[in-house]
Structure 1
Amino acid sequence: MDDKDFLAERFEENRAHLRAVAYRMLGSLSEAEDAVQEAWIKLSRSNADEVGNLGGWLTTVVGRVCLDMLRSRTHRRESPLESTRVPDPIVGSAEGDPEHESVQADSVGLALLVVLETLPPAERLAFVLHDMFAVPFDDIAPIVGRTPAAARQLASRARRRVRGQTPEPEADRAKQRAVVEAFLSASREGDFEALLRVLDPDVVLRADVGAGKLGVSQVVRGARAVAEQALRFRDFAHAGRLVSVNGGIGIVNVPEGRPLSVAGLTIADGRIIEMDILADPDRLARLDFEFLED
């Protein structure tokens, strides 16, 4: 094995970790892959023999790449509708493929990713790297161009915002499933009162249809408004199938076998408190829905 092959092998040992870092930073599966690939390019052009901790070095490289991507994304924003952007979900079978569930066990909830989308880039990086991956502030500081103490403050501000906006979800998948099935049943039957019983009074629905597509990205708040929305799309409820979305029970609508939308649901105290729906055809087309085959 030559030096290049050995270096590639060591990189592959870190790929899953790097992809997890990039996904939490960017909320985009395709951009996360791009960031990981950029890290490989930088590694292949560097003097790897001088790198003592390759995993740590690659993590900071991916962090720096993601920070640049987030800043570029922020500069491109032209509309407040960007606030309704729903991150790419990690979708899989809800029926328990052991290999898939081992991957899902470490996935981050979609509700948390939605909150991370609202953080300034530097705060997001400091929070993700330190709180999720235990990267020391001494290593984070050079990436954000701050002192370690200032980097700590960035993470602290992000932590307060995350704790204040991220609901504590139901961890029991069986209980999640019962609530989601009740929601689907009420939607299919057009039962408005049953929908109200399964929705938290302050439920929030976010729908991301993509830029320039038919329809409007929107945020809907309150049980009655969300129930009315569910009844408006009652016909699609019959095509709803239970799936695992970022480790929780969600719904994919697949009329005629083609994914039309995927919804991540956050459940607490027996009710749905948050619904994050991705209906952007371009982004849906990049997701892997092979598991939907019977």
Structure 2
Amino acid sequence: MKKAILLIVFLISIFFTSCEEVVDVDLDNAPPKLVIEAAINWHKGTNGAQQTIKLTTTTGYFENVIPTVSGATVFIVNSTGQQFNFVEVPNTGRYVCTNFKPVIDEQYILTVISNGNTYTANETMKSIAPITRLEQNDEGGFTGKDIEVRAFYNDPADANNYYLYKYEYSNKVTSNYYVDEDKFFQGNEFFSLSDDDELKIGDKISLTHYGISKQYYNYMSILVSIAGSNSGGPFQSPPATVKGNIINTTDKDNYPLGYFSLSETDSRTYTIIAQ
């Protein structure tokens, strides 16, 4: 009987082994596109002189390494014609400027020259209302049992304002982004809100508010809705192509991905406490 059982197990193992077949999935890879991450952020209380622009390309779905772009010419010009040059940290695709001059409501033009193509974009530096206070609520969420944190600010009444909020959590790898406009709270106190139903005592939150243009608000609304608010970032391989404000003046059909934005920012950190 024991021999019979061993024989059956042996035959079954041969059967399943013979049924295994390696299937190679042949995915068509589109030609790589230039990705320009040109988020110029001026944190309150700093001079905003050091700024970084990152150049990469899209790559295959199963690739783990994102190709960087070296040897490009990158600069920004303000409305008075002053030029701010971004110099590459060798072989990194990171281009750094150390003398940038951010001015609220100033208009800037970005130029990137790479591989025979010239890319340009126009944008305006937007201000941000300062964060005035943080509040922890232990009866939040749909269940009334979640911990949530609110970051309050006073929205200026003299303009239409648009906001980007970023929340980073010590208990998660990814960040949370979402956008807002002051259509229903213009001139009043309002707040951003954490979005992590697993917060517990001791967890840390880093949050940032960005002042953004209406155009960037529209772009991020689409991007966040496609990629989901809980993501590694707004440029982390969204499942669909979203065009930004950067155009290829050499070949308009060969448009890049990414966006040129200029934001004043305000940030806070908070540790969840027992209440």
TM-score by length of 1: 0.25
Structure with the larger helix share: 1
Highest Rg: 1 or 2? Answer: 2
Please identify which structure carries the higher strand content: 2
